[in-house]
Amino acid sequence: MLNSRRSAGQRPPKYSVIGRTLRERILGGLYVQGARLPSERMLQKEFAASRVTIRLALENLRRAGLVESRQGKGYFVRPVQALYDLGRLQGFGEIVAALGLEARSLVLAISQLPASTETAQALRLERGDRVVRIDRVRLAGERALSYDESYFPAGIGDALARLDLAHSDVFALLEGALGIELGYADLTLEIIAAEPSIGLHLGVEAGKPLVRIRRLTFDLDGRPVDFEYLYGRADGFRFRVRAARW
């Protein structure tokens, strides 16, 4: 019992505390992409820590993909870059969790509108049927990586609109709150020029490249439940897929 009380009250290792502070500075924009971090000597002085402790903190940041080491020059901030496995059906939060980052959303608009020809065909509705559109900016830490334009059949969209879209993935809400078991999705990927309105939210100049993913998600019974366009920063994602030779 005594040992458990001691372990419960133990402080985290100093390198972990330092690493968390540096991580917050990076994600908060104090150290911008491409910037050189303070030298090891400067960090030793700031945190009153040994060189070994500072190196452990920096190495953890490197493993998390937040910084890179350049021989003889120090550590530099890397762009936050998530690995998107096209062979798996994942929500944004699941993707960025691998970076040790918290995902959240800025919900820009929730609107009801008649289904366009494309949306109606995707969701197997009649043209003009009511759908719910949800527009969100997806953030990893404090960096905007994706702009999501999502369309749902009216019943599903109305239910989602009442839930916590700012802190939960739509996939998690569909499965956990609405009891819809997801089965698979059809995706197409292309590179497009950023429109001013979307580029503004992602910090990308109009006309610069964005990755656009068209994704149509089905439940286990093969019914379409979520039709969306995902606009991602070109420097914010890497893509992976396993390709079999048939």
- Among the listed residues 146, 147, 176, the one whose alpha carbon sits nearest the alpha carbon of residue 163: 176
Grade residue 81 by pLDDT with cuts at 50, 70 and 90: confident
Q: How much is the pLDDT for 29?
A: 74
Question: Does the domain spanning 2-77 belong to CATH 3.40.50.1240?
Answer: no
Q: Which residue has the higher pLDDT, 226 or 1?
A: 226
Q: How many CA within 13 A on the CB side of residue 85?
A: 10
Domain extent listing, the chain: 2-77, 82-240
Q: How much is the pLDDT for 9?
A: 59
What's the token pair of residue 118? 């494309």
* pTM of the model as a whole: 0.75
Q: Which residue has the higher pLDDT, 29 or 86?
A: 86
* 113-138: average pLDDT: 97
* 66-76: average pLDDT: 88
Q: How much is the pLDDT for 138?
A: 95
What's the token pair of residue 63? 């493993």
Do 57 and 22 form a contact (C-beta atoms < 8 A)?
yes
* 119-128: average pLDDT: 97
89-98 tens-digit pLDDT: 999 988 888 7
Question: Residue 214, class by beta-carbon neighbours within 10 Å (0-12 exposed, 13-18 middle, 19+ buried)?
Answer: middle
In this model, does residue 6 exceed pLDDT 80? no
Which CATH architecture does the domain made up of 82-240 adopt?
3-Layer(aba) Sandwich (3.40)
Q: How much is the pLDDT for 153?
A: 98
